[in-house]
Protein backbone atom coordinates (compact mmCIF):
# COMPACT_ATOMS: atom_id res chain seq x y z
CA UNK A 1 0.00 0.00 0.00
CA UNK A 2 1.33 3.38 -0.98
CA UNK A 3 0.45 6.64 0.75
CA UNK A 4 0.26 9.69 -1.44
CA UNK A 5 1.44 12.98 -0.03
CA UNK A 6 -0.94 15.87 -0.39
CA UNK A 7 1.58 18.16 -2.08
CA UNK A 8 3.78 15.64 -3.88
CA UNK A 9 5.18 17.18 -7.02
CA UNK A 10 6.27 15.46 -10.18
CA UNK A 11 9.57 16.60 -11.71
CA UNK A 12 7.67 18.38 -14.49
CA UNK A 13 5.56 20.33 -11.97
CA UNK A 14 8.69 21.09 -9.95
CA UNK A 15 10.42 22.46 -13.08
CA UNK A 16 7.40 24.65 -13.76
CA UNK A 17 7.43 25.95 -10.15
CA UNK A 18 11.17 26.60 -10.29
CA UNK A 19 10.71 28.73 -13.39
CA UNK A 20 7.89 30.63 -11.73
CA UNK A 21 10.06 31.05 -8.59
CA UNK A 22 12.88 32.65 -10.60
CA UNK A 23 10.35 34.95 -12.26
CA UNK A 24 8.95 35.92 -8.86
CA UNK A 25 5.45 34.62 -9.57
CA UNK A 26 5.12 31.85 -6.95
CA UNK A 27 2.86 32.05 -3.93
CA UNK A 28 3.89 31.12 -0.43
CA UNK A 29 2.11 27.79 -0.69
CA UNK A 30 3.87 26.98 -3.98
CA UNK A 31 7.24 27.80 -2.43
CA UNK A 32 6.49 25.45 0.47
CA UNK A 33 5.64 22.71 -2.03
CA UNK A 34 8.86 23.40 -3.90
CA UNK A 35 10.88 23.38 -0.70
CA UNK A 36 9.35 20.04 0.32
CA UNK A 37 10.19 18.62 -3.10
CA UNK A 38 13.78 19.90 -3.02
CA UNK A 39 14.44 18.62 0.50
CA UNK A 40 14.02 15.01 -0.70
CA UNK A 41 17.07 12.79 -1.02
CA UNK A 42 18.00 11.19 -4.33
CA UNK A 43 16.95 14.00 -6.67
CA UNK A 44 18.68 14.34 -10.02
CA UNK A 45 21.84 16.47 -10.28
CA UNK A 46 20.01 19.26 -12.11
CA UNK A 47 18.19 20.25 -8.89
CA UNK A 48 21.43 20.86 -6.88
CA UNK A 49 21.45 24.68 -7.34
CA UNK A 50 17.82 24.97 -6.22
CA UNK A 51 18.46 22.60 -3.30
CA UNK A 52 21.30 24.87 -2.23
CA UNK A 53 19.05 27.95 -2.41
CA UNK A 54 16.19 26.40 -0.48
CA UNK A 55 18.59 24.68 1.91
CA UNK A 56 20.08 28.08 2.72
CA UNK A 57 16.66 29.55 3.46
CA UNK A 58 15.72 26.46 5.45
CA UNK A 59 18.91 26.79 7.50
CA UNK A 60 18.20 30.47 8.19
CA UNK A 61 14.69 29.69 9.42
CA UNK A 62 15.90 27.29 12.09
CA UNK A 63 16.16 28.88 15.49
CA UNK A 64 19.10 28.38 17.78
CA UNK A 65 18.24 26.05 20.62
CA UNK A 66 19.27 27.22 24.06
CA UNK A 67 19.83 24.41 26.52
CA UNK A 68 19.88 25.35 30.16
CA UNK A 69 20.83 21.94 31.58
CA UNK A 70 24.63 22.46 31.33
CA UNK A 71 24.36 25.83 33.04
CA UNK A 72 22.31 24.35 35.89
CA UNK A 73 24.89 21.61 36.33
CA UNK A 74 27.78 24.11 36.51
CA UNK A 75 25.83 26.41 38.83
CA UNK A 76 25.14 23.53 41.23
CA UNK A 77 28.82 22.55 41.24
CA UNK A 78 29.79 26.17 41.93
CA UNK A 79 27.24 26.37 44.75
CA UNK A 80 28.65 23.23 46.38
CA UNK A 81 32.20 24.60 46.16
CA UNK A 82 31.15 27.91 47.71
CA UNK A 83 29.30 26.09 50.48
CA UNK A 84 32.31 23.92 51.29
CA UNK A 85 34.66 26.91 51.36
CA UNK A 86 32.27 28.86 53.58
CA UNK A 87 31.94 25.91 55.96
CA UNK A 88 35.71 25.54 56.21
CA UNK A 89 36.07 29.26 56.86
CA UNK A 90 33.42 29.30 59.58
CA UNK A 91 34.18 26.07 61.42
CA UNK A 92 37.94 25.73 61.14
CA UNK A 93 39.18 29.25 61.79
CA UNK A 94 40.38 30.18 65.24
CA UNK A 95 38.25 32.44 67.30
CA UNK A 96 39.81 35.84 67.58
CA UNK A 97 41.35 36.70 70.92
CA UNK A 98 43.45 39.58 72.18
CA UNK A 99 47.08 38.66 72.66
CA UNK A 100 50.56 40.10 72.35
CA UNK A 101 54.05 38.68 72.19
CA UNK A 102 56.34 40.13 74.83
CA UNK A 103 59.92 38.83 74.93
CA UNK A 104 58.87 35.88 72.76
CA UNK A 105 55.99 34.81 75.03
CA UNK A 106 52.33 34.94 74.02
CA UNK A 107 50.34 36.87 76.62
CA UNK A 108 46.54 36.92 76.58
CA UNK A 109 46.01 38.79 79.86
CA UNK A 110 44.70 42.21 78.80
CA UNK A 111 45.84 43.96 82.01
CA UNK A 112 49.40 42.71 81.64
CA UNK A 113 49.47 43.82 77.99
CA UNK A 114 48.25 47.30 78.95
CA UNK A 115 50.86 47.68 81.69
CA UNK A 116 53.66 46.62 79.32
CA UNK A 117 52.42 49.06 76.67
CA UNK A 118 52.34 51.95 79.14
CA UNK A 119 55.84 51.08 80.34
CA UNK A 120 57.20 51.16 76.80
CA UNK A 121 55.47 54.51 76.17
CA UNK A 122 57.15 56.01 79.23
CA UNK A 123 60.53 54.90 77.80
CA UNK A 124 59.74 56.77 74.59
CA UNK A 125 58.80 59.95 76.42
CA UNK A 126 62.05 59.87 78.50
CA UNK A 127 64.10 59.82 75.30
CA UNK A 128 62.62 63.14 74.24
CA UNK A 129 65.77 64.90 75.33
CA UNK A 130 67.75 62.87 72.80
CA UNK A 131 65.45 64.04 70.02
CA UNK A 132 65.78 67.68 71.04
CA UNK A 133 69.60 67.42 71.16
CA UNK A 134 69.61 65.87 67.68
CA UNK A 135 67.54 68.78 66.36
CA UNK A 136 70.01 71.27 67.89
CA UNK A 137 72.90 69.51 66.14
CA UNK A 138 71.14 69.87 62.80
CA UNK A 139 71.10 73.63 63.23
CA UNK A 140 74.78 73.76 64.37
CA UNK A 141 76.73 75.24 61.43
CA UNK A 142 80.12 74.33 62.91
CA UNK A 143 79.21 70.64 63.02
CA UNK A 144 77.95 70.73 59.43
CA UNK A 145 81.17 72.40 58.20
CA UNK A 146 83.28 69.85 60.06
CA UNK A 147 81.39 66.96 58.41
CA UNK A 148 81.69 68.59 54.98
CA UNK A 149 85.45 68.95 55.44
CA UNK A 150 85.70 65.24 56.21
CA UNK A 151 83.80 64.33 53.04
CA UNK A 152 85.69 66.80 50.83
CA UNK A 153 88.98 65.19 51.92
CA UNK A 154 87.69 61.84 50.62
CA UNK A 155 87.10 63.18 47.09
CA UNK A 156 90.77 64.06 46.44
**pLDDT tens profile 79-94:** 999 999 988 888 877 6
The pLDDT of residue 100 is above 60: yes
- pTM value is 0.34
Other residues' Cβ atoms within 10 Å of the Cβ of residue 29: 9
**Would you place residue 148 in the very low, low, confident or very high pLDDT band (cuts 50, 70, 90)?**
confident
Nearest by Cα to 32 from 11, 2, 12, 9: 9
As a residue count, the chain comes to 156
Q: What is the mean pLDDT of residues 53-65?
A: 63
Q: Which ranges of 102-156 would DSSP assign to H, the alpha helix?
A: 110-126, 128-139, 141-155
Confidence of residue 1 (pLDDT cuts 50, 70, 90): very low
Amino acid sequence: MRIKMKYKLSPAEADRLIERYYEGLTTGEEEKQLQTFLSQAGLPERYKPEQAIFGYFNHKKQKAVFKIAPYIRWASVAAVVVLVLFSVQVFLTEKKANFAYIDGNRITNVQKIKSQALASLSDVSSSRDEVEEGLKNINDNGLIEQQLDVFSGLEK
